[in-house]
Structure 1
Amino acid sequence: MLYHPTRWHARALLAACIGAFGVGTAWSAAPVGPARDRPAVISQRAAQSVLLGIEQAGKRLIAVGERGIVVVSDDNAATWRQVSAPVSVTLTAIRFADDKHGYAVGHSGTVLATVDGGETWTRVLDGRQAAQISLAAAQANGNATALHDAERLVADGPDKPLLDLLVLDARRVIVVGAYGMAYYTTDGGQKWSSWADRLDNPRGLHLYAIRRHGERILVCGEQGLVRLSEDGGQTFTAIKTPYSGSFFTAELPSDNEIVVAGLRGNVLRSLDAGANWKQITTPDAASITGSAVRADGSLVLVDQAGMVLSESEGAFATLNSTRLPSLTGVFPRRDGSLLTLSVRGVLSAPNGGQK
């Protein structure tokens, strides 16, 4: 496993920078102690903070971001309120299985769970537990390299972020993150197992995104890493692409279609499950930080330069004539309109034409 702390997910890096220098958000003094063990501070301006993940649970929208912020909206994003969270670490992604059961992941190996639609949250995994799980798996497998890496993970302490997750149902969840961390649970987070040995990632490259379409599961990450499973995650195949830079996001819009996007505005599409790839043109070289598939099957992307990109005739065009703040994610609402996540919270975006 290679340890290279300067290489981070674009959204996580952005959050770290903003968190260090501030974005004008008023924060009261926080209790002393590690952020992983300290409840999030309640702020009147939480909804204007750096937000990195958003999801819908029933009629409720829930967004997560820096300093353990969780905000919810019950009026279609017209207003937001912060709810309590048991950690103050940056939360990077959120997914729900149904209207009530959901999970969020973040820094320090954090996984949070909710059973009431995001109103309350419980920590079900942290970096200390994750490191011990990796160590036990390496000891059981007898792989000397894996054992060395796991011992290093334990020695380093809980300082590494989880960056994405796949919620298969209310009890089955897969989480992935920096340095090849990957874990899964089949009982709602009471017990976790290592998933890393399935992904053929001996260098411990960061895993930035995980997506599912039917039985197909895709994981993408640092230095062009793409892994594809055709059997629900039991086994994975390494997929080669024409680009060796990092992929920060991905989508599986249809049965054999894969789209990966990331560093310097690179977007690639395969229509045959990764056998062949075609580059999709984007307006500039800003890193792609978020993606989504709209109800009509069309793709929408956002980038660090504050642009919302919609696909038309095999290329991406900008929907907004004026740059928004640096964007970290995008969410298509059920009415077809778009919400974006940014360093200044949730923002509406130009809708653009749909098919």
Structure 2
Amino acid sequence: MKISNWIKLIALGSALTLPFGKAVVAADFIDTLDKPAIQTEKAVHGIFTGLAAAGERLIAVGQRGHIFYSDDAGVHWQQANVPVSSDLVAVHFPTPLQGWAVGHDGVVLHSSDAGQTWIRQFDGRQVGPVMLAYYQRMAAAQPENSDLQTRVAEAQRMSDEGADKPFLDVWFESDRVGYIVGAFNLIFRTDDGGQHWSPWLDRTENPAALNLYALRPVGNELFIVGEQGLVLKLDPVAERFNAIPTPYNGTFFGVTGKPGAVLVFGLRGNAYRSVDGGVSWSKVELGLPLSITASTVTTDGRIVLLSQAGHVLVSVDDGVSFKLQPQNGLAPVAAAQVSASGALVLAGARGLRQLPLE
């Protein structure tokens, strides 16, 4: 399963017709990793794929490196200064000031002022070389380990291919320790606030190198979800993400829930719930055949799921059942966040908007 088509950002080519005899001079190419995001008021109506709370402030990230922040629950937005124009996919703030955003071209951005300004900490040009150096050191110390030799070859390939692998989600447990995940089992961890990143590909039970779409904690447990029914759970003692069997072999796009109740959700309205940390799962009947692409938990404990078309489903019983909320003007949703005031803010293909909850 490839990244969902509706959240892909498609570059449209255009042809320029000139009078006969005129020379066509190509503009100098500037890599999106080196080109700052354009400051424009129109950007707030563009495509956004990630939302996070930074204290009472809301942060939204999207196409072409656009990052906006709001201090009034999403009514008004201001554009942040961003050093790249790569498409951004996800954002997380473990504290009101410190936050990270990730996206295409393997980019990782950091803000220390509640999302107002950003710096580039890591990118796809570094992913391959960092992996290669890391696994070469491990392979030299364990020459009999064939898995490490495979990791070296994989890292060499990524180095040769360049900055073409996206990171698709980010989560930090503090302003020091965090994880980034992405396509083809890409996963890195930092213990120093993103100054250095260590690959964890050998610490995930994902031999098929399936895409990792989301990682989030539920209670004290950290989960990753991805393609083909993949659900991984962190063993903090072994420092390893172990696979958890699920009844579904389709793609999961996200994970949410409350302490004691974990929900994973994805394609064609499929959602599953576990009350024993992922040992067993029960199907949640949503009555909606559309992919579930976003979630959030309200301040009063309701679990909210949103479809790719913008349907809102709300649970008041910790995910046992969901009720479809009546609404008008459906629009694709990629991310959702409840503001400090209780407003539901949505990000998607039609920009940023508020939506009242019943």
Q: Please report the TM-score for the alignment, with normalisation by the length of structure 2.
A: 0.88
1:28-61 alpha-carbon deviations (Å, 9 max, x no partner) = xx98411122111112111111111111223321
> Mapping of 1:1-355 within 5 angstroms?
7-8=2-3, 10=4, 13-17=5-9, 20=12, 32-142=29-139, 143-213=148-218, 215-231=220-236, 234-254=239-259, 256-311=260-315, 314-352=320-358
Aligned equivalents of 1:348 and 1:58: distance in 2?
Answer: 18
Aligned equivalents of 1:159 and 1:206: distance in 2?
Answer: 14
Aligned equivalents of 2:179 and 2:28: distance in 1?
Answer: 32
Once the 2 structures are TM-superposed, how far is the Cα of residue 337 of structure 1 from its aligned partner? Answer: 2.5
Contact residue 336 and residue 351 of structure 1 kept, 8 A: no
Point out where structure 1 has 5 or more consecutive residues left out of the alignment.
1-5, 23-29
Larger deviation: 310-319 or 285-294? 310-319
> What's the secondary structure of 1:264's corresponding residue?
helix
**Distance change (3 Å), C-alpha of 1:232 and 1:128:** farther
**Distance change (3 Å), C-alpha of 1:117 and 1:201:** same
Counterpart residue type for residue 179 of structure 1: F
> What's the secondary structure of 1:37's corresponding residue?
coil
Contact residue 305 and residue 327 of structure 1 kept, 8 A: yes
Once the 2 structures are TM-superposed, how far is the Cα of residue 208 of structure 1 from its aligned partner? Answer: 0.7
Aligned equivalents of 2:126 and 2:9: distance in 1?
Answer: 27
> What's the secondary structure of 2:105's corresponding residue?
coil
Aligned equivalents of 1:21 and 1:290: distance in 2?
Answer: 30
Contact residue 66 and residue 79 of structure 2 kept, 8 A: yes
> What's the secondary structure of 1:47's corresponding residue?
helix
**Distance change (3 Å), C-alpha of 1:227 and 1:334:** same
1:63-120 alpha-carbon deviations (Å, 9 max, x no partner) = 1000000011122212112122111111111111211111101111110001111111
- Counterpart of 1:27 in structure 2 is none
Contact residue 47 and residue 71 of structure 1 kept, 8 A: yes
Between the two proteins, what is the percent identity of the paired residues? 38
Larger deviation: 265-274 or 210-219? 210-219
Rg (Cα) greater in structure: 2
- For the aligned residue pairs, the C-alpha RMSD in angstroms reads 2.1
Counterpart residue type for residue 7 of structure 1: K
Contact residue 216 and residue 256 of structure 2 kept, 8 A: yes
Aligned equivalents of 2:344 and 2:193: distance in 1?
Answer: 31
- Counterpart of 2:144 in structure 1 is none
Once the 2 structures are TM-superposed, how far is the Cα of residue 305 of structure 1 from its aligned partner? Answer: 1.6
Aligned equivalents of 2:351 and 2:309: distance in 1?
Answer: 15
> What's the secondary structure of 2:84's corresponding residue?
coil
Counterpart residue type for residue 194 of structure 1: P
Once the 2 structures are TM-superposed, how far is the Cα of residue 292 of structure 1 from its aligned partner? Answer: 1.2
Counterpart residue type for residue 6 of structure 2: L
Larger deviation: 227-236 or 32-41? 227-236
Contact residue 67 and residue 80 of structure 2 kept, 8 A: yes
Aligned equivalents of 1:93 and 1:326: distance in 2?
Answer: 16
Contact residue 7 and residue 334 of structure 2 kept, 8 A: no
Aligned equivalents of 2:264 and 2:109: distance in 1?
Answer: 27
Counterpart residue type for residue 91 of structure 1: L
Once the 2 structures are TM-superposed, how far is the Cα of residue 316 of structure 1 from its aligned partner? Answer: 2.3
Counterpart residue type for residue 336 of structure 2: V
Point out where structure 2 has 5 or more consecutive residues left out of the alignment.
15-26, 140-147
Aligned equivalents of 1:213 and 1:233: distance in 2?
Answer: 19
Aligned equivalents of 1:319 and 1:194: distance in 2?
Answer: 42
